[in-house]
Structure formats: C-alpha cells, structure tokens
Amino acid sequence: MSQNNPYSIPQEPLKPELERLWAIAVHAFGIVFEFFAPLLGYLLLKDRGPFIRHHVTESLNFGITMVLFYIVLAVSIIGWAFFWLPPIVWFVFRIIAAYKASLGEFYRYPISLRLVKN
C-alpha cells in the first residue's frame, strides 16, 4: 500500500485463491492485449498481495520487452522478415506463465527485461 499518498484508499489484500486467479487472468489477457492488460493489472492489483504483485510485474516487464522487440524489428531492414516471431513467443510464454500461476508458483519470463521492479 502507498502510505505516501494521503488520498489513496487502502485496499484489502486478496485471498490466495483470488491472487492466483488474477495472476492467471493477467497472463491470459496478455495474449490478446499484449501490453495493456498487464499495465492495467499492475496499476490496479500490485498492492493486493505479494503473489499478484510478482505476476503483474513480470507480465508488464514481458509486455514492455515484446513492444521493444517489435520496435527493433520494425526499424531494422531484415527485421520485417521476422515479424511472425513475437506473437508465437508471447503466446507460448504467456501460456506457461498462466499455468505456473495456476499452480501457485512464482514464474519469471526467461527473455524479459526487468524494467519495472517489484
């Protein structure tokens, strides 16, 4: 919770089952809404428990990494030939992350830049 903001409303921590459910949802919605679902999840859920904080941060970092990867591909001359690669990568890793979250495990995307810290 943010004690520095006097206008913030303190939020109750989520129950472990709900933390797990929201973690799965953030990873799954990230398949379709690559950057926006993790950003929204991070902004709304990061202070609701350690498990959900870890997963929304990881999902957001992976989303940022994929956006940057697409920018690099778009700018490079030979990158246009590999525009098919990021959707496959993010689909596979997001499914793995959602599965690990369903098991209650802390999952880290292997090819993610750690730009947003826990």
In a domain, 31, yes or no: yes
pTM across the whole model: 0.85
In a domain, 52, yes or no: yes
Q: What is the mean pLDDT of the chain?
A: 89
DSSP 8-state secondary structure symbol assigned to residue 9? P
Over its C-alpha atoms, the chain yields an Rg (Å, rounded) of 15
In a domain, 118, yes or no: no
In a domain, 49, yes or no: yes
Contact 97, 65 (CB under 8 A): no
In a domain, 58, yes or no: yes
Number of separate domains in the chain: 1
Helix ranges, the chain (H)? 16-32, 36-45, 50-75, 85-102
In a domain, 79, yes or no: yes
User: What digits encode the pLDDT tens for the residues 17-38?
Assistant: 999 999 999 999 999 988 899 9
Domain that holds residue 51: 16-99
pLDDT at 57: 96
User: What digits encode the pLDDT tens for the residues 52-85?
Assistant: 999 999 999 999 999 999 898 889 888 778 888 8
